[in-house]
Amino acid sequence: MKIYLLLLPHLLSTLTPLSAEELLKVTEFSHGKSGWQGASTVVHLSAEGEEQPLPSADTTSVLRVKLSNNRWSILEHRVRLSRKQSSASLHLELRTSPDFAPKTESKEYAEEDFAEGGEYGWSARIFTKADLLIQLSENGGWQYRPKAVRASSDWQPITANFKKLKSKTNETLALCFPPGSGFVDIKSVSLDAQ
């Protein structure tokens, strides 16, 4: 009888629904880019938003992406989805410099028109006009989530959901900022899969 009672919690735990798995979580960048590759630097900000030379208990460390005048500024991170995971949610917090201004026209923009806030899939990697183009490679193609970003010194939450994923290998999550002026600070990033 004791054996059955010991096994009961294990059996009950197998009946509970699967919870989300954190594939990526960066809540601060004081120790570097935390696996992010690409056009960014780590900057330490005081509570007033002024740059500090070193991290401390009184600073917030962020990834700063300066917009290029004539090309996309891209940050990439590798993620691995398991066979059981069919959806993912990206959450990030960012703010911009007062002069943040993506170019309205650029030869860098693909002809395809993906509306900001929409969800798109494409077999090739393209760069459509958006303040922030979130990309996730998936099963040989790409998923796209174009987002609007307002010029503001306030932290803005951005969320992107990816559904019906078929990926079973290492994939690339990309945060793509268009040609323009100004910069974007990224305070935190998380990717949860289910």
Residue 54 is part of a domain; what is its CATH number?
2.60.120.260
Look at the chain and report how many structural domains it folds into. 1
Question: For position 48, what pLDDT does the model report?
Answer: 87
Question: For position 80, what pLDDT does the model report?
Answer: 80
Ramachandran area for residue 26 (φ above 0: left; ψ -120 to 50: alpha; else beta): beta
Question: For position 21, what pLDDT does the model report?
Answer: 66
Question: For position 92, what pLDDT does the model report?
Answer: 95
DSSP tally for the chain: helices H, then strands E: 1, 15
Question: For position 168, what pLDDT does the model report?
Answer: 60
In a domain, 14, yes or no: no
In a domain, 101, yes or no: yes
Question: For position 90, what pLDDT does the model report?
Answer: 94
Question: For position 49, what pLDDT does the model report?
Answer: 86
DSSP helix/strand/coil, 148:
coil
Question: For position 167, what pLDDT does the model report?
Answer: 61
In a domain, 74, yes or no: yes
DSSP 8-state symbol, 7: H
In a domain, 91, yes or no: yes
Spans of the chain, pLDDT less than 70: 1-21, 167-169
Question: For position 20, what pLDDT does the model report?
Answer: 53
In a domain, 15, yes or no: no
